[in-house]
Structures are given as C-alpha cells and as structure tokens.
A and B are shown apart, each in its own frame.
Chain A
C-alpha cells in the first residue's frame, strides 16, 4: 500500500466523511497530497544540495590546505543561502542571437528530468512516493531527459563553447548509460525485480546481506556503477562538459541568475540521486540491521513512525557517505581527456560490466543461495572489503606520518588538525 495513497484516503475519510472509492472529488485530494509530497521532496533536495555545496567547498579547502568559505553565518554555513539569493537577484540575460524557445526551455527539462527520479527513491521503509514496478528502468529513462535539456541548452545558446559542452555531455551521458545499466542489470538479476523497494527488500540490514558483498561480480559491478554514476553526474574526473580550461563553462555558459542556478542545482541533486541508487541497489538501502521489513510493516503507532525515521536516517546516512566519496574523488583525480573518457567507457567499463552481469547470472544458476558456497563467497567478499578499508586507513596514516616530523621541524607546531577542529 502506497503511503500517500493511504494518507489521502485517511484525509478523505476523516475530513470529508466520505468514502474515497465513491466520493467524486477523491482525485483532488489525491492530487493535493501528492503535490505536498513533491514539495517535501523538493525541500529535501534543496536542503541537501545547498549545504552540500558549502560542505564540499570546506572539504576542498582542507584537502588543499586552505580553509574554505567560513564568513557567512557560523563557520560559513549560510554560504549556500547567500549564493542562492545572489543568483535570484541577478539579471536574466538571454543572448540576442540565441534560439529563444530552446534556450528558455532547457532548465525546465534538466530540472524535471532530475526531479522525476525522486518518485521511486525509497527513502525509508514506507517513505517512497510511488513504488513503480519498473523502478530502475524508470530512473534510467527519466534521467535521460537531462541529456535532452543539456543538448538544448548547448544548441540554443548559439555559443561555440556551449555547443561543444552540450555535444560533449550528450556523448558522455549516453555512453556511460550503458555500463551503468549493465551494472544495475546484475542487481536486477539478483533481486528478480525492477521495483526499488523490491531490490532493497531482497537485501538485509547487515553488510553480508548487502548485494555488494554477495559475490565478486557484484562487488565489481558496484565499483563500475559508481564510476559511471560519477561520469553521468558530470563530476570530476569526468567533468569534460564543463571543463573550464577548455570550454569555459560548457553548456551553461550563456545562462545567468536563476536559470544558471537550476542547472547547478540539478547537478548537485543528480549527485544525490546517483548515490541513492547505488545505496539502494548495492548497499542495502534503508534496511535496519536486525529488523525485518515485515516487523516494520506490522508495527503500530509511534513505533511505526520511529522505524520509518530510523530507516530514513540510515538511507540518508549511506547516501551521504557516498556523496562525500564523490566529493573526495573530485578533489583527488585530475580530469580525463576526451578520448580517454570514451576509451574508459567503451573499452573497459562496457565489456567488464557485461562480464559482471554474466558472472552473476552464472553464479545464480550454479550456486544455490544460502548454501555453503554462497556463504563462503559472502564471507570472503566481506573480508576483502574489510581488508581494503584497513589498507586505506593504514595508507592514510602512513602518508600523514611521513610529513609530520618535517612539519614539526619547520613550523614548530604539530601537523595534527582533525576535521572537526574548525579554524
């Protein structure tokens, strides 16, 4: 049962004392409730995308031994609000030679394509707008609207930079859709359903129940999905469509003020969508460890609400971790060249992701789920994950220690300055 459907029925019953099945105005109540849900989703995007821009700038600062914006509000946490208001107060410029309809319509398409994906994102056990039975395919389809929007922006601006940016982003987005679709196909094979809630339900709360640690092929599929998601979100190291050293700003070069902001906003929200899809498909989604979905569904009253809130928090936490990883990658890796970008996709990711989907298929057909081989594989993959994490921590510590003594000698101060210490 859809939660919004349920709420709307409840509203009709309690407020208008009517039976939703026969009342002639039920659809108005439905539309209002769904509209409110959409506004809530928008509020989530805005509240997520805004501060994340600020947090990214602070993280970028620390990575480059700087500080980042820390003047607007305590520690600069209102910087995003200032940026947004500034964009709102800016003049809206339309180039005289632009193709006006295309130019003006592009932000709508980009934003709508991004926002449409929120329909099927399962934020919690029952916190989902609509659990479509074609969920993942729907996400792949609706986010393609963004490509159309970018191409329209690039072509409609009648600027050479914008045109190159638009064409580049179209080539990149369609190319990377193939490996991301194949990686998700591995998940669909495992789950046996396309519905996002179904995929989350096929996993569990504990890490060894997540798809990413089920078998080596899914582990590889997760990495490949993550890479192609970064590429689809136009993030560094795949941010060629807006490579400032080559084509200034790419497709949004002629846009100003609010229209420009919507492009940026869609990009940031897109990052969240990619992280959310990776979370739901590979990292167990909102599943609470030790609590089965049935127990959540059977709970009553405030317990039910509490479980929903907890599952929401878990989902957002996992997604945010992935978003931070994307941010760190942005400030670590240099940008690829155009041909390297295409080669990465077509020569490496496409065959390998097809291979991983094949591997998952064969393992499914050959290995009985819950059997000894299955558990050995899960344990081995979990061990691999832990080893990688351990090696990472060791490496970070070694890198830090290598410079600590020299710093002490040169500056007379300790190099240690953890992230929670805010200058």
Chain B
C-alpha cells in the first residue's frame, strides 16, 4: 500500500525533474538575446493594447457550477458502483439496494440537468429580455 503510493509520488517527482532538467540543460544550448520587442505579447503584429487581465463574458460560466455538482456526484457514485457487483452477486436482495441507490443518484442529477436545460443555460445565445440583462 505504502509502496504503491510512493510510486505515485516518485513518478510525479521524476516527471517534474525531467522538465526542469531539460529546461536547465537547454540553457547551455540556446541563445539568450533579450530584446524588448521579443518580450512583447503577440497580438498579430500590432502593439498590444492594454493588459489581458480584464473581465469578459466567457459564457457557460453556469456550466462550471453544474460541473461541480456532477463531479461531486460522480465521486460519490463511484464507490457504490464499485461494490454494486459484489452485492448483486450475493443474491440476498442487497443488490437492489445498490441499484436503487445509484438510480436515485442519477435521478437527482437528471433533474438538475433538466432544470438547467429548461432554463436555457446550455444554449449559447439566450434572449435578453430587458436592457438590464445586457452584458
């Protein structure tokens, strides 16, 4: 058990070290000729206008919220899904507990999805009803 997770740790470390080593070795190979023009942001050859750190409407920001709901549910459902097979194989009726439980999860999720879908949040262009809603 400890061995397995130390493998994960060492793999992650080794991969970070590989990136660092490649960049560090490259330092001796690559030229370094700094130039204010090179240090500019690429904006199709024009001088960059302002900073890129501004507010904009990425759309679908609600989807991020929906995603969190879904991801949490998935994280909760995976353990149940894992044991469901064993329970069903037991043939004393516990299998149906798992089935009903998972279906309950799904029904809740589907209700959430149907709500968002019905509200039109999954569409790109919603109709703006009032000027206050204009972005």
Contacts and interface: CB of A to CB of B under 8 A. Distances in A.
Is A–B contact present in the complex under a CB 8 A cutoff?
A: yes
Interface of A: 2, 4-5, 30-31, 34-35, 37-39, 41-42, 88-98, 107-108, 111-112, 114-116, 118-119, 129-132, 137-138, 155, 157-163, 167, 171, 174-175, 177-178, 181-182, 185, 188-194, 248, 253-254, 257-259, 262, 338-339, 342-343, 346-347, 350-351, 354, 357-358, 361-362, 364-365
Contact of B86 (A34, A119, A192): A192
B4 A95 contact: no
Contacts of B134: none
A200 to B, nearest CB: 16
Interface in B24-72: 26-27, 29-33, 36, 38-44, 48, 51-53, 58-60, 63-64, 66-67, 70-71
B14 A92 contact: no
Given A158-B41, A342-B60, A30 B3 contact: yes
Given A92-B23, A162-B52, A257 B30 contact: yes
Most buried by B among A31, A162, A189, A338: A189
Given A97-B51, A189-B81, A191-B85, A365 B95 contact: yes
Nearest to B61: A171
B23 to A, nearest CB: 5
B8 A178 contact: no
Interface in B1-33: 3-8, 10-12, 14-16, 18-20, 22-23, 26-27, 29-33
Interface of B is mostly: helix
Interface residues of B, number: 71
Nearest to A117: B11
Contact of B10 (A31, A177, A257): A31
A42 B6 contact: no
Given A92-B26, A92-B30, A362 B99 contact: yes
A119 B88 contact: no
A116 B8 contact: yes
A346 B113 contact: yes
Contact of B41 (A30, A89, A157, A175): A157
Interface of B: 3-8, 10-12, 14-16, 18-20, 22-23, 26-27, 29-33, 36, 38-44, 48, 51-53, 58-60, 63-64, 66-67, 70-71, 74-75, 77-78, 81-86, 88, 95-96, 99, 102-103, 106, 109-110, 113, 116-117, 122-125
15 contacts: A42-B18, A89-B30, A108-B16, A115-B11, A115-B12, A129-B7, A129-B11, A137-B78, A161-B43, A177-B67, A191-B85, A194-B78, A248-B42, A262-B22, A362-B99
A175 B78 contact: no
Contacts of B12: 112, 115-116
A96 B36 contact: yes
Nearest to B74: A181
B102 to A, nearest CB: 6
Given A130-B4, A185-B74, A342-B124, 16 more contacts: A88-B22, A88-B26, A91-B30, A95-B40, A97-B51, A98-B41, A112-B15, A115-B18, A129-B7, A192-B85, A254-B41, A351-B110, A358-B102, A361-B84, A364-B84, A364-B85
Contact of B7 (A119, A191, A259, A346): A119
A38 B109 CA distance: 39
A38 B122 contact: no
Contacts of A189: 81, 84-85
Contact of B26 (A35, A118, A257, A361): A257
A190 B10 CA distance: 32
A167 B85 contact: no
Contacts of A192: 82-86
A416 to B, nearest CB: 45
Contact of A171 (B41, B52, B60, B78): B60
A93 B38 contact: yes
Contacts of A190: 85
Given A192-B84, A361-B103, A159 B41 contact: yes
A137 B74 CA distance: 10
A185 B78 contact: yes
B8 A171 contact: no
Contacts of A347: 117, 122
Given A162-B52, A342-B122, A354-B110, A177 B14 contact: no
B14 to A, nearest CB: 4
A177 B71 contact: yes
Given A95-B41, A130-B8, A42 B14 contact: yes
A254 B42 contact: yes
A360 to B, nearest CB: 10
B23 A258 contact: yes
Contact of A167 (B30, B58, B67): B58
A391 B63 CA distance: 39
Contacts of A119: 7-8, 11
A119 B15 CA distance: 11
Given A2-B3, A92-B23, A116 B11 contact: yes
